[in-house]
Amino acid sequence: MNLLESLRALRLLAIVRGTDPGAALRTVLTLAEEGIEAIEVSLTTPDALTVIEQARAALGPEALVGAGTVRTAADGARAVAAGASYLVTPALVDGLQSTGSPEIPVLMGALTPTEIEGALARGACAVKLFPGSLGGPRYLRALRDPFPEVPFVPVGGVDVAAAREYLDQGAAAVGVGSPLVGDAADGGDLDELRARAAEFRRAITWEAR
């Protein structure tokens, strides 16, 4: 799977983090039904590996269901064994290419120029700019001068308006957690989740901007 090509096409990575594994699974499936195809399940969610396994079983082998908050190579190995199709880290993590699948794509977290270089040196297919809210779209614009070839995916505090701005500044995609998911992964209203999903889909569609 070419994760980067998929992210460039989809423009949105949904981040599911919650307190209820059953609700988290329903959230993943609802997002997929609403056309949001790239979904990350944070390993901070209780029983996250089972959620990933069940989501991949329900959505099929080509589903873009990955594991987030991967902090160690052991985390990555367990996630790959559960069926994660890609890994997302909050920071620089060593050893992820020895997770049992050397082809597994990694979206690695970084903030500073030094960390960005570190992510690339560790084989990241794209850089998760985290926390994006710290510098906002203007910071991304500044980074793209010295790093014009680096695909960035800003994450953290990305609401509908910020999603538009980041994409306008050249982000490959945006990662969105609570502004999209809300409390759905804690057992919240799925109809409200559907409404937020529709709003984000409109925001990231070039023709609508």
Whole-number CA gyration radius for the chain: 16
Pick the closest to residue 45 from 207, 184, 171 (CA basis).
184
Cβ-proximal residues to 104 (8 Å cutoff; 6+ apart), any chain = 76, 80, 84, 85, 86, 87, 96, 97
For this structure, is 103 an active site residue? Answer: no
Q: Choosing from 128, 149, 165, 207, which is the catalytic residue? A: 128
Known catalytic membership, residue 128: yes
Active-site residue, selected from the candidate residues 40, 115, 149, 207: 40
Torsions phi, psi for 59 (to 5 deg): -95, -15
Q: Which residues are catalytic?
A: 40, 128
